[in-house]
Amino acid sequence: MTDFVLIPGACHGGWCFDGLAEDLRARGHRVLHPTLTGIAERSHLSHAGVNLETHIADVLAELSAHRVTNAVLAGHSYGGMVITAVADRMPERIDSLVYIDALVPRDGESCWDIVDDEMRQWYLDVDDTGYGVRPMTFFDTRATPHPLASLLQPIRLDGDINGFRRRDFVYALGWPGQSPLRRSYERVRDDPHWHVHELEGSHNLMRDNAAGLLSILADSAP
């Protein structure tokens, strides 16, 4: 049995992993897929102070509360920022990392720094509160605004994620036009420390290529 901890991307709750979690549990694994503060069913907790550090704290608390050990920590999209910091701060609980069409940051970088100009324009489409980034049109209908501060705050890292047993990057091929995750993909594509995969399907691979993603996650287990 492996502990899988699945972290959603911007605007989404842990429910975006419901089907994938069910399939992993059917294989005998334990799966946690929390919703981050201020988003989806936790949107009532949204305020201007919710940022990347808030979301990192969410997941660190989840690992501690559930006594997670030797985990596969996976993040979708924005979730790549969160899992990178969590793995850096609590490496003793993490076995491997999976980036699901996700950002791969370096120390001192924010989401804003890594994405393309089109994505930056989306970040600026805030709601009436002034700090919530509206969901994109193709997102799940349950998606809610995402805290802007979390997309602008630089990550702080002390270690090297190449120290983990395994790192996987899953690149979605179904973006209309160039993927805003292209820069992250190119960072790891030719790195021998990484297993890099390309999957047919749009950004939400949990929905559009669940079978392919399930296979990659299962292979990442210790």
Q: Structural domain tally of the chain?
A: 1
pLDDT for the residue numbered 177: 85
- Residue range 79-99: mean pLDDT, rounded: 98
Band of the pLDDT at 162, cuts 50, 70, 90? confident
Distance CA 217, CA 16 (A): 16
Q: Who has greater pLDDT, 163 or 211?
A: 211
Q: Residue 134: is its pLDDT beyond 90?
A: yes
**Look-up: residue for tokens 């995969």?**
197
State which residues form the domain around 68: 3-220
Q: What is the CATH number of the domain that holds 115?
A: 3.40.50.1820
Distance CA 179, CA 99 (A): 15
Band of the pLDDT at 160, cuts 50, 70, 90? confident
Beta-strand runs (E) in 3-131? 3-7, 30-32, 71-76, 94-100
Average pLDDT, whole number, for the chain?
Answer: 96
Q: Does the pTM exceed 0.95?
A: yes
146-147 and 132-133 beta bridge pairing: antiparallel
Distance CA 218, CA 16 (A): 18
Catalytic residue IDs: 77
Q: Residue 145: is its pLDDT beyond 90?
A: yes
User: Among the residues of 27-78, which ranges form H helices?
Assistant: 52-65
Helix 79-89 × helix 52-65 angle, to 10°:
60
How many other C-beta atoms lie within 10 A of the C-beta of residue 136?
13
pLDDT for the residue numbered 184: 98
How many other C-beta atoms lie within 10 A of the C-beta of residue 164?
16
Distance CA 18, CA 91 (A): 26
